[in-house]
Amino acid sequence: MVKHLIATTLILGCVAILPNGLAFAQGSINYAAIEQQIDSGTYSEAETLLTKALENNPTDTRARVLLADVFDRSGRYANAATQYNILIEQNPGDVRYYYDKAAVSLHDGDYDSAFNILNQAKDANPDDFFATADEPLNALLRNTPDNQEARFLLARTYGMQNNPQAAFDEYQALIKQNTTNADYHLGKGLALVRMERYDDALEAFNRASELSPDYEDVYRAKIRTYQLQGNYDAAVSTTNDAISRFPDSTWQVPEQQTEQTKPDQVASNPDPDRPADRNNMDVPYLDVELGGGYDYLDNDFEDWNNQYMSFRTEIRKGLGFYGRLRGTRRFGFYDTEMQLGTFLPILPFLTYVGEGTYSPSGEVIPEYSFFNGLQLALPYGFVLSGGHRHSQYKLGIVETGVYGLEKYYKQFRVGYTMFQSYLHGADTRYAHLISGNYYYGINNSTVGVGFSFGDEQQNVLIPGRPRGIVDVSSVGVNINGIHWFHPEWAVTYLFSVSDYDNNTNNADLYTKTGFQLGLRHRF
380-403 per-position pLDDT tens digit: 788 999 999 999 988 788 899 999
pLDDT at position 277 is: 40
pLDDT at position 466 is: 58
Strand-pairing partners, residue 352, are 344, 374
Domain of 314, CATH number, reads: 2.40.160.60
Residue 263, pLDDT > 50, answer: no
- Whether 438 is in a domain gets the answer yes
pLDDT classification of 5: cutoffs 50, 70, 90: very low
407-448 per-position pLDDT tens digit: 988 778 999 999 998 877 677 889 999 999 998 877 778 999
Percent of the chain with pLDDT over 70: 86
Domain count, the chain: 1
Strand-pairing partners, residue 326, are 308, 337
Average pLDDT over residues 513-517: 96
- Contact predicate 339/327, CB 8 Å: no
- Whether 129 is in a domain gets the answer no
Average pLDDT over residues 490-495: 96
61-83 per-position pLDDT tens digit: 888 999 999 899 989 999 989 99
Helix 77-90 and helix 95-107: axis angle, to 10°?
170
Task: Give the domain range for residue 294.
Answer: 285-522
Q: Which residues lie below 8 Å from residue 223, measured CB to CB, with a gap of 6+? A: 235, 238, 239, 242, 254
- Whether 292 is in a domain gets the answer yes
- Point out the least confidently predicted range of 279-283, 330-334, 463-467: 279-283
> Alpha-carbon distance 304 to 320, whole Å?
31
> Alpha-carbon distance 73 to 38, whole Å?
9
pLDDT classification of 244: cutoffs 50, 70, 90: confident
Average pLDDT over residues 195-209: 91
- Mean pLDDT, the chain, integer: 84
Q: Which residues of 258-293 are buried (b: 16+ CB within 10 A; e: fewer)?
A: bbbbbbbbbbbebbbbbbbbbbbbeeebebebebbb
> Alpha-carbon distance 133 to 110, whole Å?
19
Strand-pairing partners, residue 473, are 455, 501
335-384 per-position pLDDT tens digit: 999 999 999 989 878 999 999 999 998 888 899 999 999 999 888 788 99
Q: HSE (CB half, 13 Å, CA atoms) of 234?
A: 18
- Whether 223 is in a domain gets the answer no
Average pLDDT over residues 11-31: 48
pLDDT at position 468 is: 65
Residue 15, pLDDT > 50, answer: no
pLDDT at position 470 is: 75
pLDDT at position 92 is: 83
pLDDT classification of 270: cutoffs 50, 70, 90: very low
Extended strands (E) in 159-269 = none
- Whether 514 is in a domain gets the answer yes
pLDDT at position 463 is: 58
- Whether 59 is in a domain gets the answer no
Q: Which residues lie below 8 Å from residue 484, measured CB to CB, with a gap of 6+? A: 441, 442, 443, 445, 490
Torsions phi, psi for 394 (to 5 deg): -60, -30
pLDDT at position 1 is: 43
pLDDT at position 460 is: 67
- Whether 469 is in a domain gets the answer yes
pLDDT at position 507 is: 76
Residue 486, pLDDT > 90, answer: no
pLDDT at position 22 is: 43
- Whether 351 is in a domain gets the answer yes
160-195 per-position pLDDT tens digit: 888 999 999 999 999 999 999 999 999 999 999 999
pLDDT classification of 451: cutoffs 50, 70, 90: very high
215-235 per-position pLDDT tens digit: 999 999 999 898 888 787 888
112-131 per-position pLDDT tens digit: 999 999 989 989 898 889 88
